[in-house]
A and B are shown apart, each in its own frame.
Chain A
Amino acid sequence: MLDKTGITKRIAKEVKNGYYVNLGIGIPTLVANFVREDIDVEFQSENGILGMGPFPFDGEEDADLINAGKQTITALEGASYFDSATSFSMIRGKHVDLTILGAMEVSENGDIANWKIPGYMVKGMGGAMDLVASAENIIVAMMHTNKKGESKLLKRCSLPLTGVGCVKKIVTNLAVLEVTKDGFKLLERAPGIAVETIQQATEGHLIIEGQIPEMEL
């Protein structure tokens, strides 16, 4: 079973040369640390920067330079700043190539729920609804089951939706899956994880075709 770093490393392999990438808050943010150094990638943060760099050195923080998680960051050579409408033009207009975000639930038809649990304090969707409604290529990074051990890959989401029919790929601590019109297609297993384990942890329809290879990290 993978830990968060493992999930992060596997997702980093999905980042290709020439991609503009938007990383959600949480596990996705860590992806930047594991992208191959021999490819050219630019990270977009929806509060208004393209070409986002690592955290600043101690003492070099700039209050006017943060990411969408409100953390202090740096700008790399070739970076640009822009207003929020321009930022979402990049997202809605499909200029951003890859979006990586977390989820509470994903359904077998690609619906995603990640912003609201009824009865709990609702903090808001931020940019998530814009991202999932528009991105061509959305990868969800999440644990396969919740803290109670219940599957997060469902026939239908039970929580309020963030977007419909939008998730293309899911990387969990157990597997890599593709969302197809027929359900979750199992592509890879986490090291040492049996297909049966993945089947048991998946409530939605799981498609298993032939031998399922182990992930390479």
Chain B
Amino acid sequence: MINKQVANVKEALKDVSSEMTLMLGGFGLCGIPENAISELVVMGVKDLTCISNNAGVDDFGLGLLLQKHQIKKMVASYVGENDEFERQMLSGELDVELIPQGTLAERCRAAQAGFPAIYTPAGYGTEVAEGKETREFNGKMYVLERAFKADFSFVKAWKGDAAGNLIFKGTARNFNPNMCGAATITVAEVEELVPVGTLDPNQIHIPGIFVQRIFEGKNYEKRIEKRTVRQKTELC
């Protein structure tokens, strides 16, 4: 077993510096690396390029980095629900690249899997394809999209072990597995770090080879963005 465990979030984020490109897992506020984001705020690193499906809300998730003006460029598929984001984008302080969600996932996966680029039909004929190489396959047009290059990838899993093996829970999985091994260094934070040998190898979602550093996170808030419920009387 190769031990990937680090003592805490500080050690996990060692060597992160300003102007780096970071990948951050999560969909909305679901499955975001809360501990890593908090530590980035503490470190005060600036001029970051962040690749993440969304940009958090004003006071949580990547919104915390936006508040401190630590993000120079955001690469995302959807950035609603964040007033500070909107203000910085409209004032030109923040550079924003919006890309299709499936393309975002696949550019992560390509980086993980060693493909320099992929062809996707998403965005063909739209402004997303402007300036990009296009090609026809079997009568349909595709756009060439390049693999991301990132310095650090921050992911959040449910359970993990010192070998770096990860198991995700529910829809908190989302982009996290695709970002593992897609950057020079992948840092995984888990809700529960279990002893090596206790995870069933059949059930592991991400093998430890894709993870360089792992630690057990603390004080997860797991904030719900849109709480929607039905009443017991509405029996379905």
A residues apposed to B, CB below 8 Å: 45-49, 54-73, 75, 81-85, 87-88, 91-92, 111, 121-130, 133-134, 160-165
Contact B170 A88 (CB under 8 A): no
User: How many residues belonging to B are interface residues under a CB distance threshold of 8 Å?
Assistant: 60
Contact flag A160-B127 (CB < 8 Å), given A125-B100, A130-B102: yes
Contact A48 B174 (CB under 8 A): yes
B78 proximity list for chain A (CB < 8 A): 123-126
Closest 7 CB pairs of A and B: A88-B102, A130-B102, A164-B125, A64-B170, A84-B105, A63-B222, A129-B100
B168 proximity list for chain A (CB < 8 A): 81, 83
Contact B30 A70 (CB under 8 A): yes
Q: Within the complex, what minimum Cβ distance (angstroms) separates A86 from chain B? A: 9
Contact A48 B229 (CB under 8 A): no
Contact A65 B98 (CB under 8 A): no
Interface of B is mostly: loop
B76 proximity list for chain A (CB < 8 A): 124
B225 proximity list for chain A (CB < 8 A): 66, 70
Interface of A is mostly: loop
B27 proximity list for chain A (CB < 8 A): 47-48, 66, 68, 70, 84
Kindly count the residue-residue contacts between A and B in the assembled complex, taking CB atoms under 8 Å apart: 180
Interface centre among B101, B104, B123, B227 (most CB of A within 10 A): B101
Q: Within the complex, what minimum Cβ distance (angstroms) separates A156 from chain B? A: 12
Q: Is B181 an interface residue (CB 8 A)?
A: no
Contact flag A85-B229 (CB < 8 Å), given A62-B170, A164-B124: no
Q: Is B14 an interface residue (CB 8 A)?
A: no
A45-B171, A83-B174, A126-B78 known, 5 other contacts, Cβ within 8 Å: A63-B224, A65-B171, A123-B78, A125-B98, A130-B120
B30 proximity list for chain A (CB < 8 A): 47, 63-64, 66, 70
A70 proximity list for chain B (CB < 8 A): 27-30, 81, 225-226
